[in-house]
Amino acid sequence: MKGLRIILTSIALAMLFPLGTSAQKTANYDESLIKPYSLPDPLRMESGRKVRSVRQWEKKRRPELIRLFSEEVFGYVPGKPEGVHFRELTAGEAFDGKALRKEIAVYFDAEETDSLVLLLYLPKEAKGPVPAFLGINFFGNYTTTLDPEVTFPSEAQIAADGNGYGEKPRGFQARRWPYEYILSRGYAVATFYCGDVDPDYDDGFTNGVHGTIYKAKMRTGSSWGTISTWAWGLMRAMDYLESDSSIGKVAVIGHSRLGKTALWAGALDERFSMVISNESGCTGAALSRRAIGETVGVIQSKFPHWFCRNYLKYSDKENTLPVDQHELLALVAPRPLYVASADGDKWSDPKGEYLSLLGAAPVYELYGLEALKDPDQPRVSFPVSAGRSAYHLRHGRHDIVLYDWIQYLNFADQFLK
């Protein structure tokens, strides 16, 4: 069955990307080859009417943009299922007694058919609620730290995943999660494995919560792809965090595909007090209409399951998109938003990520807030911020490193404490 689905998907993709389209071409990094484009105005309704007040934005344009991103890009995200509940699985001290560690099962239904496991570290000396960062990890909670007490996946979890869960060594991506430093700055950190919600491969829409909780049979043009599913997982993790009296304001953060996810979750769910995109690139922070580095066509030739099917219409036709990614960023307003790029990560189009942030400025300004306006991209290692928007271009490759976290913490100090 799975084999047949893969063959059918390959045939469908071959029809959508015949030889010579962008799926086969090498990426363009040449700015001079960008075709002229004009960005949709975040403050102009589909009807052509201009948005003139915060009320019009919140009541009309914001919901309209959420509908457009749901319908044409990511697929509709369902609300909170009735039976969501939590259970603490483990609790203890970590990092030489400086932190408390908890592992919490977030069950998606009353019957406990499926769940995600949230790994949460809290500074031990904290008095009162502490602000927290919430982000998904790529390979499992146990790969984010060398803390030996973090539970290794069970045989059943490994089998249900079917995507190499458990193969990476403990602490494999610990460098990306500088827990002790984040805790020392007075923040809690929470993370869960993306595959707990939806394993990251195209299985024809049956694995993850699509199959277990939603019993999906048919995938329509606007059915939720994997990024929407991960964003839904972030909201379920948030359901837990808001129930925990030791947690204050929460920033949602993500790197790369999980940065696209953080933006989409942050756009949809205003319980996230701050949103951070680390090198989210194509269909994350980067403007699609620049079609430079990874494009809408290229990304879907490799990861068709991330998006809704309607998005395929826009492969190599970015100018026909009813939205562009600056409008995804604008959906975060008036909350603090941080976008970061790396100079060696041309695939993510660093300049397009910065221009996108500028494109979101009119919505921040509608709220009477200052926003980044300088048309020149900031230099490497010179973080900039204005009002509630911030940006940096880090030196180095596609990654999330301590330098990035330091900037996020400095920015968060202004808003979350």
Least distance in angstroms from the C-beta of 386 to ligand GTR: 27
- Three-state DSSP at 403 gives helix
Contact assessment for residue 334 and residue 367, using Cβ atoms and an 8 Å cutoff: yes
Q: Is 256 in the site for ligand GTR (CB under 6 A)?
A: yes
Least distance in angstroms from the C-beta of 299 to ligand GTR: 5
Q: Is 341 in the site for ligand GTR (CB under 6 A)?
A: no
Beginning with the edge strand found earlier in the chain, give each strand of the sheet holding 274-278 in spatial order: 85-94, 99-107, 115-123, 188-193, 130-137, 247-255, 274-278, 337-342, 389-394, 384-386
Q: Is 282 in the site for ligand GTR (CB under 6 A)?
A: yes
Pairing status of strand 130-137 against strand 188-193: parallel
Residue 190 backbone phi and psi in degrees, to 5: -130, 140
363 burial class (0-12, 13-18, 19+ CB within 10 angstroms)? Answer: buried
Catalytically active residues are 256, 398
Q: Is 294 in the site for ligand GTR (CB under 6 A)?
A: yes
Give dist(CA 364, CA 379) in Å, integer: 23
Task: Return the number of the residue (42 or 254) whose C-beta is nearest ligand GTR.
Answer: 254
CA 39 to chain centre: 22
Tell me which residue of 347, 329, 346 sits closest to 338, measured CA to CA. Answer: 329
Task: Return the number of the residue (115 or 300) whose C-beta is nearest ligand GTR.
Answer: 300
Q: Is 281 in the site for ligand GTR (CB under 6 A)?
A: yes
- Token pair for residue 326? 């600056």
Task: Return the number of the residue (257 or 351) whose C-beta is nearest ligand GTR.
Answer: 257
Least distance in angstroms from the C-beta of 302 to ligand GTR: 6
Q: Which of residues 82-101 bind ligand GTR (CB under 6 A)?
A: none
Q: Helix H segments across 36-75?
A: 54-56, 62-69
Least distance in angstroms from the C-beta of 318 to ligand GTR: 15
Angle, vertex CA 318, rays to CA 313 and CA 323, nearest 5: 90
Task: Return the number of the residue (102 or 257) whose C-beta is nearest ligand GTR.
Answer: 257
Tell me which residue of 292, 237, 200 sits closest to 104, measured CA to CA. Answer: 237
Q: How many Cα atoms occupy the beta-carbon half-sphere of 242 within 13 Å? A: 14
Task: Return the number of the residue (42 or 259) whose C-beta is nearest ligand GTR.
Answer: 259
Percentages helix, strand, coil for the chain, rounded to the nearest 5? 40, 20, 45
Select from 39, 253, 274, 299 the one that contacts ligand GTR (CB under 6 A). Answer: 299
Task: Return the number of the residue (249 or 257) whose C-beta is nearest ligand GTR.
Answer: 257
9 burial class (0-12, 13-18, 19+ CB within 10 angstroms)? Answer: middle
Task: Return the number of the residue (244 or 349) whose C-beta is nearest ligand GTR.
Answer: 349
Least distance in angstroms from the C-beta of 319 to ligand GTR: 21
Task: Return the number of the residue (64 or 294) whose C-beta is nearest ligand GTR.
Answer: 294
Contact assessment for residue 365 and residue 144, using Cβ atoms and an 8 Å cutoff: no
Least distance in angstroms from the C-beta of 397 to ligand GTR: 11
Give dist(CA 107, CA 160) in Å, integer: 16
Give dist(CA 258, CA 303) in Å, integer: 13
Least distance in angstroms from the C-beta of 347 to ligand GTR: 6
Select from 101, 249, 257, 305 the one that contacts ligand GTR (CB under 6 A). Answer: 257
Angle, vertex CA 132, rays to CA 126 and CA 133, nearest 5: 145
Least distance in angstroms from the C-beta of 113 to ligand GTR: 28
Interface residues with ligand GTR (CB under 6 A) are 256-257, 281-282, 294, 299
